[in-house]
Amino acid sequence: MVDVNEALTRQVAALARLELSENEVKTFSSQLSQIIKYVEKLQEVDVKGVEPLSHPIDLPTPLRPDVVLASPTDLEGKPKVLQAAPEVLYDGFKVPPIL
C-alpha cells in the first residue's frame, strides 16, 4: 500500500504544476489516500475470463446507404450554389491565395 502523506501530495502537485495551500495539502492528502485504498480494493476483484466492453449492450452501428445527388443547376448548367459566391473561377468558388 502506498503511504499518502503531505510530502507525496506536494510532490504530485508540483508535477501537475499546482500551487496548493496548507489546508488544500491536508485535504487532498486524505482524499488521495481514500482514492488509493479504493483502487487497491478494486485490484482484488477477479476478472480472469471477462471480456472488455465498450458498451453494455452490443448494438450494431446503423449505416445508411450512400446516395449521390446531383447539385441543382441553373439554366446554363452551372451549380446554383455559385450564385451566392462573391467571385467565381472555373465554375468554382474563387478564394484568395494562402501563401
Residue-wise pLDDT tens digits, 7-33: 999 999 999 999 999 999 999 999 999
pLDDT of 80 over the 80 cut: yes
pLDDT exceeds cutoff 80 at 1: no
Dist. CA 16–CA 24, nearest whole Å: 14
Q: Is the entire prediction scored with pTM above 0.75?
A: no
Mean pLDDT estimate for the chain = 90
C-alpha cell at 20: 496548493
Q: What local confidence, expressed as pLDDT, does residue 20 receive?
A: 94
Q: Which residue has the higher pLDDT, 6 or 76?
A: 6
pLDDT at 18 (0 to 100): 95
Residue-range domains of the chain with CATH: 6-43 (1.10.20)
- C-beta of residue 20 within 8 angstroms of C-beta of residue 13: yes
Q: Tell me if 82 sits within 8 A of 72, measured CB to CB.
A: no
26-66 pLDDT, tens digit per residue, is 999 999 999 999 999 999 999 999 888 888 887 788 888 99
Q: Is 70 exposed, middle or buried (0-12, 13-18, 19+ CB in 10 A)?
A: exposed
Cell numbers that stand for 24 in this block: 488544500
